[in-house]
Amino acid sequence: MAHKAEGSSNLLVNATDHYKEGRFDEAISTFLYALQKMPDSDKALKLFYSVCLKKMKDPRLGSGAMSKIFRKVGSYGKSLTQAQGAFAAHRFEQAMQAAARGMWEDPTNVQGLEIYGKAAAEAGYFNAACYVLENAHKLSLKDVGLMKNLVRVLRAAKRLELGAKYANELARLAPLDDEAVKLASDLAAESTIDKGMYDEKGDFHKSLVEADEQYRLHEELKTARTPEEIEVNIARVKERIRAEPNRISLYMHIGDLYRRVGKFNSARMAYQKGLEKDPNNFEFQARLADVRREMVDVKAAELREQMKKEGENAQLSEEIKALEMESASLALAESVRRVEMHPTDMSLRLDYGRLLVQAGDLNEAIKQFQLARRDARCLRWALIDLGHCYEAKGMFDMAARQYKEALDKLEVMTDEKKEVMYEYAMALEKMGQTEQAHGYYKTLYEEDISFRDVAHRVENYYKKQAAAGSTPADYKENKEEN
Interval 428-437: pLDDT, tens: 999 999 999 9
- Whether 59 has a pLDDT exceeding 50, the answer reads yes
- Whether 421 has a pLDDT exceeding 90, the answer reads yes
104/77 Cα distance (integer angstroms): 12
For residue 419, tell me if it sits in a domain.
Answer: no
Q: Indicate the number of domains in the chain.
A: 1
441/454 Cα distance (integer angstroms): 6
What is the DSSP code (8-state) at residue 102?
H
- Read off the pLDDT of each residue in 457-472 and give the average, rounded to a whole number: 83
For residue 319, tell me if it sits in a domain.
Answer: no
- CATH at 87: 1.25.40
CA angle, 57 as apex, 54 and 60 as ends, to 5°?
100
155/163 Cα distance (integer angstroms): 6
- Read off the pLDDT of each residue in 389-397 and give the average, rounded to a whole number: 95
Buried b vs exposed e over 387-403: b needs ≥16 C-beta within 10 Å? bbbbbeeeebeebbbbb
Span of 179-183, 312-316, 339-343 with lowest mean pLDDT: 179-183
pLDDT of residue 164: 82
pLDDT of residue 68: 40
- Read off the pLDDT of each residue in 348-371 and give the average, rounded to a whole number: 93
The neighbour count for residue 277, using CB atoms within 10 Å, is: 13
Q: How confident is the model at residue 67 (pLDDT cuts 50, 70, 90)?
A: very low
pLDDT of residue 189: 66
Q: pLDDT above 70 covers what percent of the chain?
A: 83
pLDDT of residue 221: 54
Q: How confident is the model at residue 225 (pLDDT cuts 50, 70, 90)?
A: low
- Whether 357 has a pLDDT exceeding 90, the answer reads yes
- Whether 268 has a pLDDT exceeding 90, the answer reads yes
Summarize pLDDT for 33-58 with one digit per residue, the tens. Answer: 888 888 887 777 888 888 788 777 66
- State the first-to-last Cα distance of the chain, in angstroms, to the nearest integer: 45
pLDDT of residue 40: 82
- Whether 480 has a pLDDT exceeding 60, the answer reads no
- Whether 292 has a pLDDT exceeding 50, the answer reads yes
**Dihedral angle sign, alpha carbons of residues 385, 390, 396, 400:** negative
418/412 Cα distance (integer angstroms): 10
464/158 Cα distance (integer angstroms): 66
For residue 289, tell me if it sits in a domain.
Answer: no
For residue 77, tell me if it sits in a domain.
Answer: yes
| Domain ranges, residue 58 | 1-140
For residue 303, tell me if it sits in a domain.
Answer: no
- Whether 371 has a pLDDT exceeding 80, the answer reads yes
Span of 30-44, 228-242, 254-268, 427-441 with lowest mean pLDDT: 30-44
- Whether 79 has a pLDDT exceeding 50, the answer reads yes
Q: How far is CA 268 from the centre of its chain?
A: 30
Q: pLDDT above 90 covers what percent of the chain?
A: 31
Q: How confident is the model at residue 400 (pLDDT cuts 50, 70, 90)?
A: very high
- Whether 454 has a pLDDT exceeding 60, the answer reads yes
Amino acid (one-letter) located at 433: Q
- Whether 16 has a pLDDT exceeding 70, the answer reads yes
pLDDT of residue 133: 92
Span of 20-29, 328-337, 423-432, 451-460 with lowest mean pLDDT: 20-29
- Read off the pLDDT of each residue in 11-34 and give the average, rounded to a whole number: 78
Summarize pLDDT for 138-178 with one digit per residue, the tens. Answer: 888 878 888 888 988 888 888 888 888 888 888 777 766 77
Across the chain, what does the average pLDDT equal?
81
